Chains A and B, each alone.
Chain A
Amino acid sequence: AQSVSQHNHHVILSEAASLELGCNYSYGGTVNLFWYVQYPGQHLQLLLKYFSGDPLVKGIKGFEAEFIKSKFSFNLRKPSVQWSDTAEYFCAVNEDYGQNFVFGPGTRLSVLP
């Protein structure tokens, strides 16, 4: 069965610091990869997604992620975080053309002003 792990439970940064959130998955076949963000009290919104092609994908709000197939990883990055990035971030994996998604446990990001 697929599983998704996220390296950090809670990350605390100051504004303008750089961010990298780790995500690893276990599945040997072709996968699609997603990062979702959940702002306090809100529903999940898609940040970015990878299906194929360039392993470096850019999303909304200055986020990007890199797919490294050999490491089964899809880490999320942002060069300079803002207070408004305070949220919970979820990595998700979907088997290519599969029905279901598997979500990681989430990483809570707190950005201090």
Chain B
Amino acid sequence: NAGVTQTPKFRVLKTGQSMTLLCAQDMNHEYMYWYRQDPGMGLRLIHYSVGEGTTAKGEVPDGYNVSRLKKQNFLLGLESAAPSQTSVYFCASRPDPARNEQFFGPGTRLTVL
């Protein structure tokens, strides 16, 4: 099993450009999450999904959109990138709402100039 994978690993954007980050998991997990990690702030939840076709807002959703068309994939979109979105983005998955942990992907380092 590959676990949770993320593409791309690195990306540099100019202000106003758009891009999509892909998260894929091969563990048949129901739940998937997108976080951003900034120095001194831990991980902050952007959006999450509790199943195929469903998404919900997290703590810091503004400027991002997500889609979960297939159970194994969770896409994070930036329609018009801003320098404040420079961050490391982590995707995570989780089997179900029972007592279990999240499994994290390797991260995507995004720089917006």
Q: Which residues of chain A in 68-86 are interfacial with respect to chain B, using CB atoms and an 8 Å cutoff?
A: none
B42, B90, B106: the one contacting A106 at CB < 8 Å is: B42
Is the Cβ of B48 less than 8 Å from the Cβ of A99? yes
Inter-chain CB contacts under 8 Å: number: 49
Check: A20 CB closer than 8 A to any chain B CB: no
A36–B18 Cα distance when bound, in Å, is: 32
Is the Cβ of B97 less than 8 Å from the Cβ of A97? yes
A43, A96, A97: the one contacting B90 at CB < 8 Å is: A43
Check: B31 CB closer than 8 A to any chain A CB: yes
A46–B48 Cα distance when bound, in Å, is: 20
A32–B107 Cα distance when bound, in Å, is: 24
How many residues on chain A are close to B (CB under 8 Å)? Answer: 24
Secondary structure dominating the interface of A = loop
A56–B35 Cα distance when bound, in Å, is: 29
Query: B98's closest neighbor in chain A, by CB?
Result: A97
> Which residues of chain A are near B42, meaning CB under 8 Å?
4, 90, 103-106
A22–B105 Cα distance when bound, in Å, is: 26
Check: A51 CB closer than 8 A to any chain B CB: yes
**A104 nearest CB across to chain B (Å):** 6
> Which residues of chain B are near A49, meaning CB under 8 Å?
101
Is the Cβ of A105 less than 8 Å from the Cβ of B101? no
Check: B41 CB closer than 8 A to any chain A CB: yes
